[in-house]
Amino acid sequence: MFIYRPTDVPSTHKSASISWAGKQTDTVVNKSLSFQNVPPQDLKEPPKLKYLRENGEHILGSTDRGCSKVILNANFIPSNDADWMFETLLNEIQWKQQKNLKYGPDYKEPRLTEWFSNHPYHYSGVEQAFNPHWHPLLTALCDRINQEYRLHFNAVLANCYRDGHDSVDWHTDSEPALGNCPPIASLSFGDTRNFDLREIPATVANGDFTYSQQFRIPLSHGTLLLMLGATQHDWQHRVPKEYHDRKPRINLTFRTMHPSR
C-alpha cells in the first residue's frame, strides 16, 4: 500500500506551513512558475494635437494618392473689408436649416446653409437644389480666388454658424461630382472658430482614429484656407462645437462641380 509522507515531495517543491482555523497545515508551493515570458505592455501613445497658425503652405502627409497640403492666408481679406462683407452676407443671403437624412428624417443640421451653383449637390444625406442666382459679392470673391490661385471654382456652399453650439462633424468633401482630389477653398468671416483635420488610417473599418495625426487651425476674420492635393481623400475635417460664448461666423466653401461624373 502506498502511503503519502512529506518526504515524498519532489525536491523542486517546498513545503510551507500556513494557519487554517488556528491549526497549522502543510501546503506545497510550486517554484517552477515563471513570469519572464509575459509580453511588455504596449507603450504607444496617441500623437499630440498640432496647431497650424503660420501663413503659407503646410504639408500634412503623403500616400499613394499623392501629397496632402493646405495653404493658409490669414490676411486674404483686410479687416475693414471683412467687416462689411460679413454684414452683407449675414443679412442678404437666404439662410436655411437643412434636414440631414443621414441621421434621420427629422434631423436638422446644427448650422444654416445656402448653395450657389448651376448644379445640385448631394452630400452626407443632404440634397442642395441648384441655385444659379449668385450674390454679386460671392461672384467677386470666387473670381479673385480663381485668379490668384489659378483654380476653376464654379460653386460655393455658404455656412452660417450662429454660435458656439453650431458645428459640422467629421467628413470629407470627396463626392464624385467634385472630381478626383478636389481642391476646396474655405473663406471665413466673423468670430474665430477652430478647424480640425485628422488623417484617415489605412484600415478604418473599425472607426479607430486613436493614432491618427491631427491638426487644428484657428480660422479668423478674413482668413482663406485652401485644401489641395489628396487632402479630401486622406484627411477628414470638422468645425467642433465650442461650449463658451461665440459670436456668428460665416464660412464660404468654394468648389468645382463636375456634373457628368
Asked whether residue 80 falls in the same domain as residue 135, the answer is yes
Q: What is the pLDDT of residues 25-48, one digit of tens each?
A: 454 445 444 445 545 545 678 999
Asked whether residue 88 falls in the same domain as residue 18, the answer is no
Asked whether residue 212 falls in the same domain as residue 147, the answer is yes
Angle, CA of 259, 70 and 197, to the nearest 5°:
90
Q: Which domain holds residue 146?
A: 45-255
Q: How confident is the model at residue 102 (pLDDT cuts 50, 70, 90)?
A: confident
- How high is the pLDDT of residue 43? 66
Q: How confident is the model at residue 99 (pLDDT cuts 50, 70, 90)?
A: confident
- Greater model confidence, 181 or 43: 181
Q: Can you read off the three cell numbers belonging to residue 101?
A: 437624412
Asked whether residue 26 falls in the same domain as residue 151, the answer is no
Asked whether residue 13 falls in the same domain as residue 55, the answer is no
Distance separating alpha carbons of residues 134 and 93, to the nearest angstrom: 10
- How high is the pLDDT of residue 5? 47
Asked whether residue 16 falls in the same domain as residue 133, the answer is no
| Average pLDDT in the chain | 86
Let me know: does 254 contact 153? Beta carbons within 8 Å: yes
Asked whether residue 66 falls in the same domain as residue 147, the answer is yes
Could you give the number of structural domains in the chain? 2
- How high is the pLDDT of residue 208? 87
Q: What is the pLDDT of residues 215-233, one digit of tens each?
A: 999 999 999 999 999 999 9
Contacts of residue 62, Cβ cutoff 8 Å, sequence gap at least 6: 68, 230
> 9 lies in a domain?
yes
CATH number, position 242? 2.60.120.590
- How high is the pLDDT of residue 204? 59
- Closest by CA to 249, choosing from 196, 186, 198, is 186
